[in-house]
Structure 1
Amino acid sequence: MSSSTRAAGSGLRSYLAAHPLASYAVRRIGLYLVELWGAVTVAFFFFRMIPGDPIQTFIQTLQQNYVYNTQASAEVIARYRSEFGLDGNIFSQYFHYMYKVLVEHDLGPSLLNYPTPAQDVIMRALPWTVGLLGLSAVLAWVFGLLAGALAGWRRGRPGADLVTNLSIALSHVPYYFLALILTFIFAYQLAWLPARSAYDARLSPGFTPEFIVSLLRYGLLPSMSIVVIGVFSWLLSTRMLMVPVLGEDYLTYAQAKGLRPRRILTRYALRNCYLPQVTAFGISLGFIFNGNVLVEQLFNYPGLGATLVNAIQILDFNTILGVTNLAIFAVLTANLILDLLLPLLDPRVKYWR
């Protein structure tokens, strides 16, 4: 190793030692890249080992729906296998897939809508899932955090105990089960809300008042199924963090100074609760996405969940891996951003080793 290389390495180590926050960020980003590569690799081999031949299924569909020359089937199958990255052994398929994704930014064609690229199919469904899942997850976290803080602050009172017991009973109910109950009540019994689809089929998508109202009306039931269960879950965890804090000396001192209870709750007690809840929010995104798949399928919502289910039914590997890797990337990136923001919320994180 040359002296210049050793000097550069020593200079980098000295810089990171002198800047703990930069050292923390470098470690977190490095761990993020390793986790991302490992998760994508595991997903690729898992789905490729599923029994079945998607090309044969695709050829049979062509034979049933179109004029198809069976004598040229061998050449056609070979071309399709090459186009979909299914020729060669599984390791060569893996390196070919990683090269296409990382270098050419191409997921390959989608069997769901051949020859449309899989990324186009995914991008058409992505806004629906982001609008439903993203907004619902944020609303559930905010309302659950505030409700949990109030339930812990007013512990022992009838209203707080009732909300806490109700949360214990309902926090573990699956999203799709609550979706079925809400659909039965509000769509079939009361006929207040539509049961399926994302908007009125008679309207054309666009930024018009009629379409926006239809969008909100059709999305209310699936979003309620996610928000309600999420609020109960966040309420319990926030209350669990709030109750031990109430006995701390600094809160007693704040009360002795004559500070208003609202100020003590928001500026002192709640501040020590939302730090771990910020990290937990990023971790929970993966579980919310899993439940959202069934919710979208139940309401025939044109998001990534319904796209993933349809792709699995015909073994559309390119679309399956695209949706799965997008979910992996979103969850890991959200956790990375939250980890990088923690030193700004809690100065003690800067000196993490």
Structure 2
Amino acid sequence: MTAEAPPVAAVEESSKDTTPKTAVRAWLSRHPLAAYAIRRFGIYLVELWGALTIAFFFFRLIPGDPIRTLMQTLEQNYVYNQQVSAEVIGRYRAEFGLDGNIFSQYLKHLKNLVLEGDLGPSLIAYPTPAQDVILQSLPWTIGLLGVSAVLAWVLGIVIGAIAGWRRGKLGSAVATNLSIALAHVPFFFVALILVYVFAYSLGVLPARSAYDSNLSPGLSLDFIGSVLKYGLLPGLSVVVIGTFGWILSTRMLMIPILGEDYLVYAEAKGLKPWRILTRYALRNCYLPQVTAFGISLGFIFNGNVLVEQLFNYPGLGTTLVTAIRQLDFNTILGVTDMAIFSVLTAVLLLDLLLPLLDPRVKYWK
């Protein structure tokens, strides 16, 4: 028996279904990496919009009236009288984006944020725009927590790799046990110990502020030296705990690959142990650490609130706490939106860069 050939029309219809219907789909099929990047960027935009929307409605539903808080502040400064007509309050509500229902407020906020980059005036520094208040605090947080996070990551990767490579040795045991004991200690607890020892007992480092109040901010050597001196204790509190956390995770990733065949082969070829560690062992376990580090960098925009409060450091953490106390919705949303944007952008960049860091990763296939 012979099988009958399918009808010509059916063959033509089948071939039409498997071919791209448009020039765009044809181009994307020929450029899979570009198709993956476009698709990932589209998902990023949806995630960003969803997170910003949730943040807006969450803070708008918090009980309290920021305009009443502003009026009370003006009354205390003798620049406002309760007998003034409601037009003043109405103008303030419109200026702060609190007029109308919550959905009209959301649309106005989204329009100003996306099209103009305007968050509205800040209640804690009225009439200064909220984005200006945030930008004044941002360099302090990046300088303190950003540099501390990078330093902690580098130290943790190096020490953790050596501790895993030389497992069973005394130095490896000491580093591992210290990391287990201290990796989950809160930053502020270490900060309190450092302040007590170096600021109050020894008196060699300042306990509060970001620089000497007798100096004017600028690029002078005196001011830069003062910033480094005043930032040493809060930065050290972040570096110490962060380093122990990276040591544990790097050691955990290093140990399972030590018995792999390619390491035995490299050793049999006569390669030096340090070269095997850096070029083979560490290269195959640092990829998860790069991903985790990229995500952690996004969170520095939140600032370490307790550390900045303890040292009276003028970063985003201090600004956020002050804004929450006075129900400054514009500043609160600005800090939160910046944190959301930074985290999601870090994840997006990592997704796009991972195939370049590791040729085994081919997401677009």
**TM-score normalised to the size of structure 1?**
0.94
Deviation at 1:293, TM superposition (A): 1.6
Maintained 8 Å contact 1:139/1:227: yes
1:254 counterpart residue number:
266
Deviation at 1:231, TM superposition (A): 0.6
For 1:151-190, list aligned pairs within 5 A.
151-190=163-202
Maintained 8 Å contact 2:141/2:301: no
Maintained 8 Å contact 1:168/1:236: yes
Maintained 8 Å contact 1:119/1:322: yes
Maintained 8 Å contact 2:120/2:130: yes
Deviation at 1:256, TM superposition (A): 0.1
Counterpart secondary structure, 1:315: coil
CA distance in 1, matches of 2:278, 2:333: 43
1:64 counterpart residue number:
76
CA distance in 1, matches of 2:340, 2:363: 28
CA distance in 1, matches of 2:82, 2:49: 41
1:130 counterpart residue number:
142
Task: Name the amino acid aligned to 2:339.
Answer: A
For 1:27-38, list aligned pairs within 5 A.
27-38=39-50
Deviation at 1:73, TM superposition (A): 4.2
Instruction: Say whether 1:233 aligns with 2:224.
Output: no
For 1:100-139, list aligned pairs within 5 A.
100-139=112-151
Counterpart secondary structure, 2:247: helix
Deviation at 1:195, TM superposition (A): 0.5
Deviation at 1:352, TM superposition (A): 4.3
Maintained 8 Å contact 1:107/1:118: yes
Identity of aligned residues (%): 73
Deviation at 1:196, TM superposition (A): 0.4
Q: 1:290 to 1:182 in 2, by over 3 A?
A: farther
RMSD (CA atoms): 1.6
Deviation at 1:290, TM superposition (A): 5.2
Q: 1:92 to 1:160 in 2, by over 3 A?
A: same
Maintained 8 Å contact 2:299/2:342: no
Determine which of 300, 303, 319 is the counterpart of 2:315: 303
Deviation at 1:208, TM superposition (A): 1.0
Task: Name the amino acid aligned to 1:65.
Answer: N
Determine which of 25, 31, 46 is the counterpart of 1:19: 31
Deviation at 1:75, TM superposition (A): 1.4
Task: Name the amino acid aligned to 1:238.
Answer: T
Q: 1:88 to 1:35 in 2, by over 3 A?
A: same
Task: Name the amino acid aligned to 1:324.
Answer: T
2:12 counterpart residue number:
none
Determine which of 73, 77, 81 is the counterpart of 2:89: 77
Select the structure of larger CA radius of gyration: 2
Task: Name the amino acid aligned to 1:200.
Answer: D
1:3 counterpart residue number:
none
Instruction: Say whether 1:205 aligns with 2:217.
Output: yes
* Deviates further, 107-116 or 182-191: 182-191
Determine which of 295, 299, 310 is the counterpart of 1:283: 295
Q: Which runs of 5+ in 1 are unaligned?
A: 1-6
Q: 1:347 to 1:20 in 2, by over 3 A?
A: farther
2:280 counterpart residue number:
268
Q: How many residues align?
A: 347
4+ long deviations beyond 4 Å: 286-291
Deviation at 1:300, TM superposition (A): 0.6
CA distance in 1, matches of 2:346, 2:102: 31
CA distance in 2, matches of 1:38, 1:288: 21
Whichever structure has more helix as a proportion of its residues is 1
Maintained 8 Å contact 2:305/2:318: yes
Q: Which runs of 5+ in 2 are unaligned?
A: 1-18
